[in-house]
Amino acid sequence: MELDLSQHVGQLTASLVDIESVSGAEKPLADAIEAALRGLPHLTLHRDGDALVARTGLGRPQRVILAGHIDTVPVAGNLPSHLERGLLYGCGSADMKSGVAVQLRLAASVPEPTRDVTYVFYDCEEVEAERNGMLRLSRQRPELLAGDFAVLMEPTGCAVEGGCQGTLRAEIRATGKRAHSARSWLGRNAIHAAGDILGVLRGYPARQPEVDGLTYREGLSAVGVRGGVAQNVIPDECVVTVNYRFAPDRSPAQAEAHVREVFDGWDVTVTDVAGGARPGLADPAAVAFVTAIGGVPRAKLGWTDVARFDALGVPAVNYGPGNPEAAHTVGEHVALGEITECEDRMRAWLTA
Amino acid sequence: MELDLSQHVGQLTASLVDIESVSGAEKPLADAIEAALRGLPHLTLHRDGDALVARTGLGRPQRVILAGHIDTVPVAGNLPSHLERGLLYGCGSADMKSGVAVQLRLAASVPEPTRDVTYVFYDCEEVEAERNGMLRLSRQRPELLAGDFAVLMEPTGCAVEGGCQGTLRAEIRATGKRAHSARSWLGRNAIHAAGDILGVLRGYPARQPEVDGLTYREGLSAVGVRGGVAQNVIPDECVVTVNYRFAPDRSPAQAEAHVREVFDGWDVTVTDVAGGARPGLADPAAVAFVTAIGGVPRAKLGWTDVARFDALGVPAVNYGPGNPEAAHTVGEHVALGEITECEDRMRAWLTA
């Protein structure tokens, strides 16, 4: 599979979407991106697993980072891509292969940006934090992520989105007592007991706090449930996996304490947590970028690796084509006009 | 693994328990039983998959069948077997390797019974009906199951148990709408919706009808639940597998109609159904057996292959060592005294 970086950014997005890259299976796409960038003389290329970092080395006084993940959620019958009335449909079209297409176009066609640029393409953003390619890079090659300002090209509908919410996953376990299902009254059915866990979730009042002038919106949802021993056994265990999305006024520790309080009395195991990031839009580098791009910044609801950059001390914002509300849906799509707009504004910023 | 059929029936039970034989993995045990029976000159042996049929051919006017399944539910940390104060503990000890031990003891040591005897050992009783080894035999070698009366040696605590309840499995499906879990309010969470299915199960009023003088007791239970797309996706499907145990006054069709009515408005898929059997204790062959064994017959609650014999026109009852309420539990066990009692009474009946 060969990528032609000279084609229109919309066509390039379609090419990227059509190379399936569900988390953990990004290799074919990483190979294609590596092959496309390898021949560009103004970039130094590094590969780490299925992550790639391409850097200019012009000795500019500032270095900016453009970063995007190349993995997608599982395909839901929505491949290959197709174009309809100016909208490109397909798994990953919005989240975030259109942003990756903009990165690749800029990498190929802006050999002499006014700031040095680091392009980061990474794997496993859509799964648990420990597998995240950016986390791996930050541990193994932190020097590759150094910079003065970072733009995460996650879908924001071409608006600058500040900060991000944190995400926590926990397993809530209901227990019971096994018995033969022909004599169900001798056991205690753990799946029936899990009805109370679902009751808590259904009645959960989600917060909508304001943080540094931006309004966030939380959520607590079941993302998985499993239970059952055999087809004729009253099960003694049922596990509901919940995902808590928390505003950046709560730390990971506070988020965990909250979930434990909500499920007081149940067996709670936190399996995965990634803190959010406060907006940080007062930083001079962020102000300069926002001024160049235009528009009114708003809160980022989805967790993104701005939190990772935040932890590395690099100011970062989210900005990219695609409606974040279309992400992870069967009908995921992106407007070609937004991809073009994003490429144009980023190009103007990098060459001004 | 070699089975010594001359040892005490309790020791033989322990040997059988220690040969793990979860449904679908009965081969080692079937091989051991085949090897033990192969050398007995008064028996003709047939093998079909992991089922075995051994028959005397003495030209007696009556033929009786002693049948038992050799598979167990999944092991729950309760192997190998151990003996404690006259109780033998271990997966399958009650359901029903003690009954199988009695069959094997009789097969080896009663070369000239007063009735011809067919010993049936079969696989996959603990799983969905379509895999049942007795069903397979009844389709492929019905002549091997011909007879005047059958005893299923399922655990009954050495009481004669009449008939059996039917069993039906169905998948009840809750649907929703996928969305990114960071914006949960844009989706409809199918796992949350399944809370209503669990509510129906928790509030279900089970019947206890009297049929031909025996009292049955029904139950409707979740035996499995699954749901979830990815760790950050609001799931659009959640499936609860339910098991309905129904008294023999309801046909499979009536049982299905009942489950569909209970879950009216939900997507219901019946995956497996096996009808029950009315007590049938008025049959002369059953009367003769009950008289020989003694005691007061009662209702069989668990589904057994008496229903299969019932369908083949062979009167059949349940009778064997072991408390049926211990079956499928972590602490499954059988009293050595019951195994011995069962062997003695059956031997007396077959030699009278």
Rg for chain A (alpha carbons), in Å?
A: 22
The tens digit of pLDDT for each residue in A25-80 reads 999 999 999 999 999 999 999 999 999 999 999 999 999 999 999 999 999 999 99
Residues of B whose CB is below 8 A from A203 = none
Nearest to B180 among A127, A229, A302 (CB): A302
- Asked if A178 and B240 come within 8 Å (Cβ–Cβ), the reply is no
Per the annotation, the verdict on A71 as an active-site residue is: yes
What pLDDT is stored for residue B47 in this prediction? Answer: 98
- Asked if B223 and A234 come within 8 Å (Cβ–Cβ), the reply is yes
Percent of chain A residues past pLDDT 70, beyond the cut: 100
B183 at A interface, C-beta within 8 A? yes
- Asked if B222 and A235 come within 8 Å (Cβ–Cβ), the reply is yes
B296 at A interface, C-beta within 8 A? no
**CB-CB contact of A122 with A70 (8 Å):** yes
Residue of A nearest to B179 (CA): A329
The tens digit of pLDDT for each residue in A75-104 reads 999 999 999 999 999 999 999 999 999 999
How many other CB atoms are there within 10 angstroms of residue A185's CB atom?
11
Q: How confident is the model at residue A263 (pLDDT cuts 50, 70, 90)?
A: very high
Residue of B nearest to A180 (CA): B328
Nearest to A221 among B169, B234, B303 (CB): B234
The tens digit of pLDDT for each residue in A206-243 reads 999 998 888 999 999 999 999 999 998 999 999 999 99
Length of chain B in terms of residues written: 352
Looking at CA atoms only, how far is residue A110 from chain B in angstroms?
A: 34
Which residue in B231, B272, B325 has the most chain A C-beta atoms within 10 A of its own C-beta, making it the best mutation to test that interface? Answer: B231
Using CA atoms, how far apart are residues B318 and B310, in angstroms rounded to an integer? 12
The residue type found at A57 is G
Q: How confident is the model at residue A19 (pLDDT cuts 50, 70, 90)?
A: very high
What pLDDT is stored for residue A172 in this prediction? Answer: 98
What pLDDT is stored for residue B343 in this prediction? Answer: 97
Classify burial at A53, counting beta carbons within 10 Å of its beta carbon; exposed 0-12, middle 13-18, buried 19 or more: buried
Cα dihedral B56→B57→B62→B67 (10° resolution): 30
Residue of A nearest to B234 (CA): A223
Q: Is A22 helix (H, G, I), strand (E, B) or coil?
A: strand
The tens digit of pLDDT for each residue in A121-144 reads 999 999 988 899 999 999 999 999
- Asked if A224 and B227 come within 8 Å (Cβ–Cβ), the reply is yes
Nearest to B182 among A181, A241, A301 (CB): A301
Average pLDDT of the residues in A167-186: 95
**Ramachandran sector of residue A77 (left: φ over 0; alpha: ψ -120 to 50; beta: rest):** left
- Asked if A198 and B201 come within 8 Å (Cβ–Cβ), the reply is no
What pLDDT is stored for residue A287 in this prediction? Answer: 83
Mean pLDDT (chain A) is 95
What pLDDT is stored for residue B189 in this prediction? Answer: 98
- Asked if A195 and B191 come within 8 Å (Cβ–Cβ), the reply is no
What pLDDT is stored for residue B210 in this prediction? Answer: 92
Q: Is A206 helix (H, G, I), strand (E, B) or coil?
A: coil
Q: Low-confidence residues of chain B, pLDDT below 50? A: none
Classify burial at B7, counting beta carbons within 10 Å of its beta carbon; exposed 0-12, middle 13-18, buried 19 or more: middle
Which pair of tokens denotes residue B58? 């003495």
Closest CA to B57 of B108, B111, B105: B111
Looking at CA atoms only, how far is residue B274 from chain A in angstroms?
A: 13
Looking at CA atoms only, how far is residue A234 from chain B in angstroms?
A: 6
> Across-strand partners of B127?
none
Which pair of tokens denotes residue A266? 């149940």
B165 at A interface, C-beta within 8 A? yes
Q: What is the DSSP string of B11-55?
A: HHHHHHHTS--BTT--HHHHHHHHHHHHT-TT-EEEEETTEEEEE
- Among residues A71, A116, A305, A332, the one annotated as catalytic is A71
Nearest to A301 among B183, B220, B235 (CB): B183
**CB-CB contact of A276 with A219 (8 Å):** no
- Asked if A225 and B179 come within 8 Å (Cβ–Cβ), the reply is no
Q: Is A291 helix (H, G, I), strand (E, B) or coil?
A: helix
Higher pLDDT, A188 or A130: A188
Percent of chain A residues past pLDDT 90, beyond the cut: 84
A169 at B interface, C-beta within 8 A? yes
How many other CB atoms are there within 10 angstroms of residue A325's CB atom?
18
Per the annotation, the verdict on A126 as an active-site residue is: no
- The residue written with tokens 């022909």 in the block is A182
Buried b (16+ CB within 10 A) or exposed e, B18-57: bbbbbbeebeebbebbbebbeebebbebebbebbbbbbbe
Nearest to B219 among A167, A181, A240 (CB): A181
A183 at B interface, C-beta within 8 A? yes
**What are the residue ranges of helices labelled H in chain B?**
9-17, 27-38, 98-109, 133-140, 190-193, 195-202, 252-262, 284-293, 306-312, 336-351
> Across-strand partners of B210?
B215
How many other CB atoms are there within 10 angstroms of residue B6's CB atom?
9
Distances in whole angstroms, Cα of residue A343 to Cα of each of A113, A148, A348, B349: 14, 21, 9, 91
A161 at B interface, C-beta within 8 A? no
- Strands (E) across B187-285 are located at 210-211, 214-215, 219-227, 233-234, 237-246, 267-274
Looking at CA atoms only, how far is residue A109 from chain B in angstroms?
A: 33
**Ramachandran sector of residue B208 (left: φ over 0; alpha: ψ -120 to 50; beta: rest):** beta
Q: Is A208 helix (H, G, I), strand (E, B) or coil?
A: coil
Which pair of tokens denotes residue B76? 């729950």
Residues of A whose CB is below 8 A from B219 = 181-185
Which pair of tokens denotes residue B198? 């669990």
Which pair of tokens denotes residue B334? 């059988």
The tens digit of pLDDT for each residue in B102-141 reads 999 999 999 999 999 999 999 999 998 889 999 999 999 9
H or E segment and range at residue B143: none
**Range with lowest mean pLDDT among A7-21, A262-276, A304-318, B189-203:** A304-318
DSSP annotation of A177 reads: B
What pLDDT is stored for residue B328 in this prediction? Answer: 87
Which residue in B156, B169, B180, B300 has the most chain A C-beta atoms within 10 A of its own C-beta, making it the best mutation to test that interface? Answer: B180
- Asked if A182 and B330 come within 8 Å (Cβ–Cβ), the reply is no
- Catalytic machinery residues of B: 71, 125
A311 at B interface, C-beta within 8 A? no
Q: How confident is the model at residue A265 (pLDDT cuts 50, 70, 90)?
A: very high
Residues of B whose CB is below 8 A from A327 = 180
- Strands (E) across chain A are located at 44-48, 51-55, 63-69, 82-84, 87-89, 116-122, 149-152, 161-162, 166-175, 179-180, 210-211, 214-215, 219-227, 233-234, 237-246, 267-274, 298-299, 316-318, 333-335
What pLDDT is stored for residue B173 in this prediction? Answer: 98
Using CA atoms, how far apart are residues B231 and A128, in angstroms rounded to an integer? 8
Using CA atoms, how far apart are residues B97 and B14, in angstroms rounded to an integer? 8
Buried b (16+ CB within 10 A) or exposed e, B131-161: bbbbbbbbeeeeebbebbbbbbbbbbbbbbb
Q: Is B305 helix (H, G, I), strand (E, B) or coil?
A: coil
